[in-house]
Amino acid sequence: MSESAPPAAEPAAEPVDPEVRDRIRRGIEDVLPRVLGVELADIPANACFFDDFGLTSSAIVELVLDIEETLAIQVDVEQLGIDDIRTVDSLTDYVVGHYADED
């Protein structure tokens, strides 16, 4: 009977700078009312773009493009999945992990 080696630990994710995350979250909060065409008093982190705001997939694309323009960043959308655009928080997390500053 042989012992198997323990599974290799996955590399730890780089810590996210809270200021970067806040900047991106504020950018989403600034852009979302423009995309919706309405003023929003409060945008909860767990608000669902589809259920709570009625956004379509094309409106999500517009939202991401506007976020890029507003924050002067480029977002890698190659890996963008439905779970990444489900809520304000999930989009914030995705953008934090998949953006580059425009030069």
Residue 6 lies in a domain: no
pTM score of the predicted model: 0.81
Residue 94 lies in a domain: yes
- pLDDT > 70: percent of the chain: 85
Please tell me the total count of domains within the chain.
Answer: 1
Residue 51 lies in a domain: yes
Amino acid sitting at position 56: T
**Which CATH number covers residue 88?**
1.10.1200.10
Residue 7 lies in a domain: no
Residue 10 lies in a domain: no
Cβ neighbours of residue 36 closer than 8 Å, sequence gap 6 or more:
53, 55
Residue 56 lies in a domain: yes
pLDDT at 2: 52
- pLDDT > 90: percent of the chain: 65
pLDDT at 92: 95
For residue 62, the SS3 value is helix
Q: How confident is the prediction for the chain on average, in pLDDT?
A: 86
Residue 73 lies in a domain: yes
37 pLDDT higher than 60: yes
Which residue segment(s) compose the domain that 62 sits in? Answer: 18-36+45-101
State the burial class of residue 61 (Cβ atoms within 10 Å of its Cβ: 0-12, 13-18, 19+).
middle
Nearest to 66, CA basis, from 18, 34, 103: 34
Amino acid sitting at position 2: S
Residue 3 lies in a domain: no
Q: How far apart are the first and last CA of the chain?
A: 58
